[in-house]
């Protein structure tokens, strides 16, 4: 085990301090702040919001990044390159172990539902009211405008399912 890795407790703290971002802490605190039914004291919620905004500001999230406050995540998504340019609408539901690359847009207004173990490539756009199944891979710069079944792969700018 390396001393400066996420497997080591001290290493995780040091990396979080250096990078100004601790993945688990960020998403746990975001879940508390965005849940209106959470009974956490208001002062503590404000501190958590301060922490979230400080992380966002350090990573330039105010420039082209928007993780909608109403977006529901079963587990925190894996952001391959940090929250760089990711836009997620306020009525989106995202399943477990979803991996999202940079510059991805998941539009609001349609109530998009994304299943478990989904990989969304860089620059992909998911538009409208679509349902994306479990274990789906969406290629880079792909535009998804129709439902994708479970265990499928979608590539090209005009969506085509190439594997079922």
Residues 109-154 pLDDT 10s: 778 999 999 999 999 999 889 999 999 999 999 999 889 999 999 9
Q: What angle do CA 136, 140, 146 make, to 5 degrees?
A: 50
Task: Decide: helix, strand or coil at residue 91.
Answer: coil
Q: Which CATH superfamily is domain 66-164 in?
A: Hexapeptide repeat proteins (2.160.10.10)
The tokens for 100 are 């999202």
pTM for this predicted structure:
0.71
> Are residues 102 and 85 in contact, defined by beta-carbon separation less than 8 angstroms?
yes
* Residue 52: pLDDT band with limits 50, 70, 90: confident
Domain boundaries, the chain: 1-59, 66-164
Q: Could you tell me where the DSSP H helices lie in 1-159? A: 9-19, 23-34, 42-58
């Amino acid at each position: 085990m390396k001393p400066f890795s996420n497997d080591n407790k001290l290493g995780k703290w040091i990396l979080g301090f250096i990078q100004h971002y601790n993945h688990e802490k960020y998403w746990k605190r975001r879940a508390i702040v965005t849940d209106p039914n959470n009974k956490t004291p208001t002062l503590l919620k404000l501190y958590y919001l301060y922490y979230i905004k400080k992380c966002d500001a350090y990573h330039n999230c105010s420039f082209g990044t928007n993780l909608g406050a109403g977006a529901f995540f079963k587990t925190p998504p894996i952001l391959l390159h940090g929250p760089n340019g990711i836009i997620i609408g306020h009525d989106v539901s995202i399943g477990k172990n979803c991996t999202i690359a940079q510059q991805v847009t998941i539009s609001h207004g349609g109530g998009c539902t994304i299943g478990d173990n989904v990989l969304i490539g860089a620059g992909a756009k998911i538009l409208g009211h679509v349902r994306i199944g479990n274990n789906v891979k969406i290629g880079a710069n792909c535009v998804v405008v129709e439902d994708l079944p479970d265990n499928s792969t979608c590539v090209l700018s005009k969506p085509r399912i190439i594997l079922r």
